[in-house]
């Protein structure tokens, strides 16, 4: 069985990770028709030039003025996506919710780039809709597939590390992200929502703990001077339910000369051990005349010579692994429900998804990061006041 695919959004992550992965899965027999929807035809034209050997249907269609804004183009594509199908959501963060809801209501499963959404009331709406139709919604937290961090989870869950006491995570990206890729919408998000959510999810992934309090700080100096009313950097202090403290430092204004797109890492201190990983510097570097010095991470998502056809490229890494996991989950669900009456199929889907909730970043898991990033924004826009998370993970300013 094959799944048809609709990718909504044609920006950086689609160009560099999602499409190469989906095209590769099509070659391996898992994906059928591929549709891509963006707000502007110019983006579809760019994708056609980037992937001249790959076939796909683009929305808005040919003949649409290149720069005309077509915010409903993805809805046209949803109506034409054959079933069974998967919708990949790679829009700006603040647009995720409506696209996910439309996809679920159209009868499709969803793989969404992190974060799931930006507010807990939106996460609740998504969860309610997904429950009603027994829809699969996975947030792409690819760091869960980084073997260094998986090794930490293994040792923690096997009681080799003791109990978590404190942690420090850092994630900074080059200024090309807000200045070039996200210029039109970065003021709707922040480096903490876009980057820090990874390491909020990672602390929970490792320990199984839930957050209880958040205090956050933000700075605006560089980007406002370049005409963008967005945060340069955000730092958050997260108190977890056992009293452990995690400090997450994020920014997206590194100089363009930084030898890799991201500086990032994670450190955790526990009662019986400590872990430290620089997740950017893997001691693998290139120097070339064309590109200069590059800090090379061979594990995230890179092209290699295909083992079966040396004339072709094969993409490997944990950036693809998380997407492939979502595709494989959906294929398993499709196969289990194929030919079944809808009511019976819905019950089967619900049972399968409930089981997967325990091991995947589906809605319950994804809501943890949503709660923290909403609380962080509430804190740094309210004079750095503490924000309390209730049992349902809804944030409220401390009195």
Same domain, 245 and 393: yes
The confidence score (pLDDT) of residue 32 equals 98
Same domain, 7 and 104: yes
- pLDDT above 90 (res 254): yes
Full residue range of the structural domain in which residue 333 is found: 3-113+313-360
The confidence score (pLDDT) of residue 380 equals 97
pLDDT tens by residue, 354-386: 999 999 999 999 999 999 999 999 999 999 999
Q: Once rounded to an integer, what is the mean pLDDT over residues 138-166? A: 97
Same domain, 200 and 153: yes
Q: What is the mean pLDDT of the chain?
A: 96
Tell whether 281 is covered by a domain: yes
Instruction: Give Cα 160 distance to the centre of its chain.
Output: 29
**Residue 267 CB: number of other CB atoms within 10 A?**
16
Tell whether 308 is covered by a domain: no
Q: Once rounded to an integer, what is the mean pLDDT over residues 286-300? A: 92
pLDDT tens by residue, 161-194: 999 999 999 999 999 999 999 999 999 999 999 9
**Residue 271's CATH number:** 3.30.360.10
Same domain, 212 and 164: yes
Same domain, 102 and 207: no
Same domain, 232 and 331: no
Instruction: Give Cα 182 distance to the centre of its chain.
Output: 15
Same domain, 171 and 222: yes
Same domain, 246 and 380: yes
Tell whether 128 is covered by a domain: no
The confidence score (pLDDT) of residue 135 equals 98
Same domain, 341 and 280: no
Same domain, 214 and 342: no
The confidence score (pLDDT) of residue 399 equals 74
Tell whether 356 is covered by a domain: yes
The confidence score (pLDDT) of residue 129 equals 98
Tell whether 334 is covered by a domain: yes
State pTM to two decimals: 0.95
Same domain, 100 and 244: no
Structure token digits, residue 152: 């930490």
Tell whether 134 is covered by a domain: no
Q: Residue 240: pLDDT band by 50, 70, 90 thresholds?
A: very high
Selection from 15, 10, 20, 36 nearest residue 91 by Cα: 10
> What's the CA gap between 176 and 182, in Å, rounded?
8
Q: 129's torsion region: left (phi>0), alpha (psi -120 to 50) or beta?
A: alpha
> What's the CA gap between 148 and 137, in Å, rounded?
26
Same domain, 291 and 376: yes
The confidence score (pLDDT) of residue 291 equals 87
Tell whether 124 is covered by a domain: no
How many domains does the chain divide into?
A: 2
**Residue 60's CATH number:** 3.40.50.720
Q: 162's torsion region: left (phi>0), alpha (psi -120 to 50) or beta?
A: left
Tell whether 127 is covered by a domain: no
**CA-to-CA separations, 174 to 108, 178, 188, 191, 258, in angstroms, rounded:** 35, 9, 18, 11, 7
pLDDT tens by residue, 83-134: 999 999 999 999 999 999 999 999 999 999 999 999 999 999 999 999 999 9
**Distance from first CA to last CA of the chain, Å, rounded?**
55
Q: Residue 47: pLDDT band by 50, 70, 90 thresholds?
A: very high
pLDDT tens by residue, 298-345: 999 999 999 999 998 999 999 999 999 999 999 999 999 999 999 999
């Amino acid at each position: 069985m094959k799944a048809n695919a609709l990718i909504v959004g044609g920006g950086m992550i689609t160009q560099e990770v999602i499409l190469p992965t989906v095209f590769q899965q099509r070659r391996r027999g898992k994906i059928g028709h591929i549709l891509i929807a963006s707000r502007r035809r110019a983006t579809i034209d760019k994708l056609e030039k980037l992937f001249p050997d790959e076939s796909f249907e683009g929305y808005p269609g040919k003949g649409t003025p290149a720069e005309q804004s077509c915010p409903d183009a993805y809805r046209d594509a949803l109506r034409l996506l054959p079933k069974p199908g998967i919708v990949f959501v790679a829009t700006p963060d603040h647009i995720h919710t409506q696209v996910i809801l439309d996809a679920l209501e159209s009868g499709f499963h969803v793989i969404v780039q992190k974060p799931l959404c930006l507010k807990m009331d939106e996460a609740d709406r998504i969860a309610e809709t997904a429950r009603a139709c027994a829809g699969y919604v996975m947030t792409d937290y690819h760091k869960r597939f980084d073997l260094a961090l998986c090794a930490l989870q293994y040792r923690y869950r096997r009681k080799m590390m003791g109990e978590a006491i404190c942690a420090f995570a850092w994630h900074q990206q080059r200024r090309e992200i807000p200045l070039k890729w996200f210029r039109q919408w970065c003021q709707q998000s922040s480096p903490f929502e876009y980057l820090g959510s990874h390491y909020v999810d990672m602390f929970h992934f490792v320990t199984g703990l839930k957050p209880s309090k958040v205090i956050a700080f933000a700075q605006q100096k560089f980007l406002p001077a370049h005409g963008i009313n967005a945060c340069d950097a955000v730092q958050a202090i997260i108190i977890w339910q056992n009293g452990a403290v995690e400090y997450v430092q994020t920014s997206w204004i590194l100089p363009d000369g930084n030898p890799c797109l991201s500086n990032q890492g994670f450190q955790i201190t526990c009662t019986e051990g400590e872990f430290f990983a620089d997740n950017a510097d893997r001691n693998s570097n290139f120097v070339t005349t064309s590109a200069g010095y590059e800090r090379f991470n061979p594990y995230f998502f890179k092209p290699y010579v295909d083992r079966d056809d040396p004339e072709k490229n094969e993409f490997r890494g944990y950036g693809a692994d998380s997407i492939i996991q979502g595709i494989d989950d959906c294929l398993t669900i499709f196969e289990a429900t194929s030919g079944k009456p809808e009511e019976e199929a819905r019950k089967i889907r619900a049972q399968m998804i409930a089981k997967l909730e325990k091991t995947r970043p589906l809605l319950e898991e994804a809501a943890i990061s949503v709660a923290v990033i909403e609380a962080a924004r509430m804190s740094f826009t309210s004079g750095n006041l503490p924000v309390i998370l209730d049992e349902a993970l809804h944030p409220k300013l401390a009195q």
